């Protein structure tokens, strides 16, 4: 006769007063505990029923999840025991556990994740592949003492430890949440592929939402100093300054969009391009400062700016290197001018958005948009929006 019972392992207590929840097997007077990914306190566990206590007065989705999990795993263990008993031979608790935990449930996490990474790279999703690669590097560093991490090892306790390790390393919360979202994505994909059972999903009911961050803004005086400083002695620094100004003059164009911007995207003094972030098609009227920057780097290339070079390196990898170099030079520029606001490729967008939302400019452009919508009623909403933004751009840059 084999006994299958759910209990708390009170021999191993956690700092928060909880105990590991295990399924105890007793066969031929030998005991064996099957670990679960859950931990409960004494008051949250009912010894008689072997279930988590569900309190109806408040939401307790975790208790319901635990009980569903226990029902499923206990049922599977009883099925394993039934198969062994039908064989009419002597078996041990070790035999039960071995059949209960087949090899596919212990697949090494990194091996599966690297397959996903290779697939993303082959499908041309280089940006997503970089995020996955960075996440796997963080996990490898965390698991340096135990490199063969299996899906069964990834439970709530492991996730909390991994999160704390990332936070203690100096990363901001949003960066940590980004790594955890990638980890959850890999885990959920493994579920769909049958690598792990969904009732064991440790990410259930967990949310990794971004937290508000401080938006760095340049005041008008600082921005004018960036415009007027003479950087002819440093070509690389001058180039990054010009890219920053170009981004601001084009209503916050991203570095990726500037890198891929071609001269064929200019039609009748208007830049037409599709934003890489949201794939939205937009246009920007070329102002006098933009003319100067576009003509300054006219070296006969199909691209507006000399970010890409001939060679065997892919355009995406060149973009990544260029972005790092650009942000480094902007940091150097902020130090040179002794600015109170740190500079990076996003500051141009946040500064332009802040200036465009000021009361005086907003009211002026609202009236401008109203007048244009009456005169050109056959325009699409996107075209009206672009015309309003272009007029706003002129007001911000004090251009007649």
Residue-wise pLDDT tens digits, 30-63: 888 888 878 888 998 998 899 988 877 555 567 8
The confidence score (pLDDT) of residue 15 equals 77
Which carries the bigger pLDDT value, residue 104 or residue 208?
A: 208
Distance between CA atoms of residues 337 and 55, nearest Å: 61
Confidence band, pLDDT 50/70/90 cuts, at residue 183: very high
Report all structural domains of the chain as residue ranges with CATH numbers, in order of start: 3-101 (no CATH), 106-200 (1.10.150), 220-396 (1.10.443)
> Per mean pLDDT, which of 23-27, 142-146, 191-195 is the most reliable?
23-27
In degrees, to the nearest 5, what angle opens at C-alpha 74 toward C-alphas 70 and 80? 150
Q: Is the pTM of this model over 0.75?
A: no
Which carries the bigger pLDDT value, residue 177 or residue 150?
A: 177
Which carries the bigger pLDDT value, residue 169 or residue 191?
A: 169
**How far does CA 348 lie from the centroid of its chain?**
22
Task: Please report where in the chains the tokens 């940006």 appear, as a residue.
Answer: 127
Buried-exposed string 233-270: b where 16+ CB fall within 10 A, e elsewhere: eeeebbbbbbbbbbbbbbbbbbbbbbbbbeeebbeeee
Segment 183-206 mean pLDDT: 77
Residue-wise pLDDT tens digits, 211-238: 777 778 888 888 999 999 999 999 999 9
The confidence score (pLDDT) of residue 258 equals 93
Segment 126-152 mean pLDDT: 86
């Amino acid at each position: 006769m084999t006994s299958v019972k759910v209990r708390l392992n009170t021999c191993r207590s956690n700092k928060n007063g909880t105990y590991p929840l295990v399924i105890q097997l007793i066969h031929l007077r030998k005991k064996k505990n099957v670990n679960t990914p859950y931990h409960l306190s004494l008051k949250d566990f009912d010894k008689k029923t072997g279930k988590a206590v569900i309190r109806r007065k408040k939401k307790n989705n975790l208790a319901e999840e635990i009980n569903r999990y226990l029902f499923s795993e206990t049922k599977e263990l009883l099925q394993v025991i039934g198969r062994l008993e039908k064989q009419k031979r002597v078996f041990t608790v070790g035999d039960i556990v071995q059949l209960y935990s087949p090899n596919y449930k212990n697949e090494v996490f990194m091996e599966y994740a690297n397959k996903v990474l290779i697939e993303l790279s082959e499908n041309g999703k280089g940006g997503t592949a970089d995020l996955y690669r960075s996440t796997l590097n963080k996990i490898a560093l965390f698991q340096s003492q135990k490199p063969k991490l299996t899906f069964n090892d990834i439970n709530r306790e492991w996730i909390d430890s991994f999160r704390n390790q990332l936070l203690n390393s100096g990363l901001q919360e949003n960066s940590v949440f980004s790594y955890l979202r990638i980890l959850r994505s890999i885990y959920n994909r493994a579920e769909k592929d049958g690598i792990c059972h969904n009732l064991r999903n440790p990410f259930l009911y967990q949310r990794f939402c971004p937290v508000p961050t401080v938006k760095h803004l340049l005041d008008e005086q600082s921005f004018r100093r960036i415009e007027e400083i003479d950087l002819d002695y440093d070509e690389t620094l001058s180039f990054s300054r010009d890219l920053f100004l170009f981004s601001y003059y084009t209503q916050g164009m991203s570095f990726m969009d500037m890198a891929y911007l071609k001269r064929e995207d200019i039609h009748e003094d208007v830049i037409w391009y599709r934003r890489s972030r949201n794939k939205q098609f937009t246009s920007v009227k070329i102002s006098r400062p933009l003319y100067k920057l576009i003509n300054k780097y006219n070296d006969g290339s199909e691209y507006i700016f000399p970010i890409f070079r001939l060679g065997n390196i892919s355009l995406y990898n060149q973009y990544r290197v260029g972005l790092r170099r650009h942000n480094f030079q902007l940091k150097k520029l902020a130090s040179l001018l002794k600015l109170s606001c740190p500079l990076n490729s996003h500051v141009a967008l946040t500064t332009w958005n802040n200036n465009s939302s000021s009361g005086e400019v907003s009211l002026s452009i609202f009236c401008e948009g109203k007048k244009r919508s009456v005169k050109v009623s056959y325009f699409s909403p996107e075209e009206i929006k672009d015309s309003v933004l272009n007029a706003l751009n002129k007001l911000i840059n004090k251009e007649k």
